[in-house]
Structure 1
Amino acid sequence: MTKPKVSMILSAYNEERFIDKAICSLTNQSLKDIEIIIINDGSTDKTPEIIEKYAEEDPRITVINQSNIGLGASRNKGMAIAQGEYVGFLDGDDWYRLDALEIAYNEAKSKDTDITMYQMINYDDATGRIYENDWFNLNNLDESFDGIVFTPEKTKDFLFDLSVSSCQKIYRNDFLKSINASFPEGIYFEDMPFFFYVYLKAERISIIRHHFYYRRKHNASITHVVDANYLDTVEAGCELMRRFIDNGFYDDYKFDLIAYKINGPRMALMDITEDAKEPLFNLIKEDYEKIKNTEYYQDYLDNLGPKKKKFFLDVIKYDNYEEFKKNNPEY
């Protein structure tokens, strides 16, 4: 039996309002030779019934029903069984342009890429407004990247300005398996450690300047409100650092990596809801106290800019959030 050209992994948790559009954007793709793996991640609404209805009608659909284990673990389950030459991801509240997979597959196949990236576009569920931003447009990749195959070395100076979203890329399945690619499990912001590890392991990358993926913004979106979910920015940053160190990427990227690691939780502490400020501060402090006792502590002192360095040292200096805030009112 020949492999499907693309395996699409769709993970859904309580998406009854949106799952129809997500599934239809896959079943109606102009590329017919695809595998659709739908993971019902413990939904308690009508999501499972809607998924089953489509699975009965389309033999390309495989359904995994499970208790709620989160997006990272769900995607890992999907990757473990994916048979396609290439693998892509779709969230249960988003959707794809109907010719996206055909164009992306032909690009990836013709250039023999490990990763092919394309643009995402935002959709505001409340107003129906469709709007672009520089990050999802991949605007950091200028016209010199058009039509070529490139390596991560070509983006070394702005690696941390690239969009980490796993949904705006397709990946060669054999490549993912060869590097044991996996998402961190049990935390939000799972895309970040996954992206940087996979991207830096890749040898052949290309981009397509078309908006293939529609990203829905609505009140239940994880990234819509900076709330307790953002506590996971600390663990996601720790996992990112582990992957850089364990895979020999650290020395080449430490200046930008350390800044990136500090900045995520720092910005979250500014914007997070009041009830989560103290818990987030405590997690950051615990992390920084650990760093202080490692061989990497001096790198933080040597490489951080003034604002981030002050934040880093003040978190270590003050015993609790109240004391820290007295001296850093912007947080």
Structure 2
Amino acid sequence: ESVLNQTLKEIEVICVNDGSTDSTLKILKEYQSNDDRVKIINKENSGYGDSLNKALDIVQGEYVGIVEPDDYIKPEMFKTLYDASVKYSLDKCRCLFHDVYTDRITINKFPAVPKNIVFSPLEKKEIFFVSPSIWACIYKTSLIKDNNIRFLNTPGASYQDTSFNFKTNALAKRIMFIDKALHFYRRESGGNSVTNKAKVEFVQIEWSEIYNFVKSQNGNLDCLYPTMAMVLLNSYDWNYKRIADCFKSSFMFSWWKETVQRHVLGQIKFKELSPFYKKVEYVVLFMPFLYGRFSRNDRKKIW
């Protein structure tokens, strides 16, 4: 309803029913019968990435946005982002969002990223350190289709926004970050551990895709290697903290092996990292068995 009630009326609403119950499909059809902007893709459960890819295959609008089923958006969100995109010929436009918990609502301002100005991500790489939040953006459809930007079809996977977000940032020439919180993102209140062994590795699959993507660009994106190394440290650190204790050692070993390989390939160089990340990288490379002894905040203080 928050999508259909947008002040920007000229929209197409593609609803993907990914193997949900018949009652879900019935509800979608009721909305479709009352609003001819609604289109339905009804499919077997094949995962988040495949669902979004199937929607992207039939998108016809000049710009495209994503709204996940448990979130909601302000009525003016798409009009605000679309008007800025048209005015400034943007490839990607992003807004702030509300983190919605059961007991509170907060807004992360992302102060390191410039707001309300047009910039190139290759010149202002701070954008790569911001959480992917693919649903807080609209993208020029041609950016996605001309570059064949897709989500990975990894059934049951997590982190599938990681490589999609990186690719759209890397290939967009003109981005704007609107200084308004227009999206409401529901978060779990608890810090549940990941106890599925397969899901422990999904973040590594996404980063493998990112490195392969950059390698395929004939050197045009090699300037991003230092940024990638530092953002990867953030991603892997976050994953390390949330996986069950029984998986931490094996994940750390895989992380260490990747790090060694990328140093050998010249994709990571100590001299190109900031002082904090240089210290973290040193521990991952030479003392991985010590990594889990401190929280991230403790590491910032100690190192």
Asked if Structure 1 and Structure 2 have the same fold, meaning a TM-score greater than 0.5 normalized by the shorter chain, the answer is yes
Match of 1:149 among 118, 121, 124: 118
Query: Quick check: 1:176 aligned with 2:151?
Result: no
Counterpart mapping for 1:273-284 below 5 A: 273-281=244-252, 283-284=254-255
CA distance in 2, matches of 1:271, 1:28: 36
Alpha carbons of structure 1 residues 169 and 214: separation in structure 2 relative to 1, 3 Å:
same
Q: CA 1:28–1:81 in 2, change beyond 3 Å: closer, same or farther?
A: same
Please report the RMSD computed on the Cα atoms of aligned residues, expressed in angstroms.
2.7
| Cα 1:66–1:282 shift into 2, 3 Å | farther
Partner of 1:205: 175
Q: Is the 8 A contact 1:31 1:101 kept in 2?
A: yes
* C-alpha separation in 2, matches of 1:102 and 1:42: 31
Question: What are the Cα deviations for residues 91-142 of structure 1, in whole angstroms up to 9, with x where unaligned?
Answer: 1100110111122211211222111111111111x22x22112xxx342223
Q: Percent identity?
A: 25
Q: Which runs of 5+ in 1 are unaligned?
A: 1-23, 316-323
For 1:1-331, what aligned pairs fall within 5 Å after superposition?
A: 24-44=1-21, 46-124=23-101, 126-127=102-103, 129-133=104-108, 137-142=109-114, 145-146=115-116, 148-156=117-125, 158-186=126-154, 187-218=157-188, 225-227=192-194, 228=196, 229-247=199-217, 248-281=219-252, 283-284=254-255, 287-288=258-259, 291=262, 295-296=265-266, 299-300=268-269, 303=272, 305-315=278-288, 324=289, 329-330=293-294
Q: TM-score, normalised by structure 2?
A: 0.83
Q: Relative to 1, partners in 2 of residues 1:61 and 1:92: Cα closer, same or farther, differing over 3 Å? A: same
TM superposition shift of 1:60 = 0.9
In structure 2, do the counterparts of structure 1 residues 115 and 263 end up closer, same or farther at CA, with 3 Å as the change threshold? closer
Unpaired runs of at least 5, structure 2: 296-303
| Alignment partner, residue 301 of structure 2 | none
- Alignment-mate amino acid for residue 136 of structure 2: Q
- The CA distance in 2 between the partners of 1:73 and 1:266, in whole Å, is 27
CA contact (8 A) 1:117 1:206 kept: yes
Residue of structure 1 in register with 2:299 after alignment: none
Structure 1 CA distance, aligned partners of 2:250 and 2:10?
48
Q: CA deviation at 1:201?
A: 1.1
Shift of 1:310: 2.2
CA distance in 2 between counterparts of 1:104 and 1:192 reads 22
Give the drift of 1:69: 1.7
TM-score norm. by structure 1 comes to 0.76
Looking at structure 2, the residues matched to 286 and 141 of structure 1 have their Cα atoms a distance apart, in angstroms, of 32
Conservation of the 8 A alpha-carbon contact between 1:89 and 1:166: yes
| Whole-angstrom CA distance in 1 between matches of 2:253 and 2:18 | 30
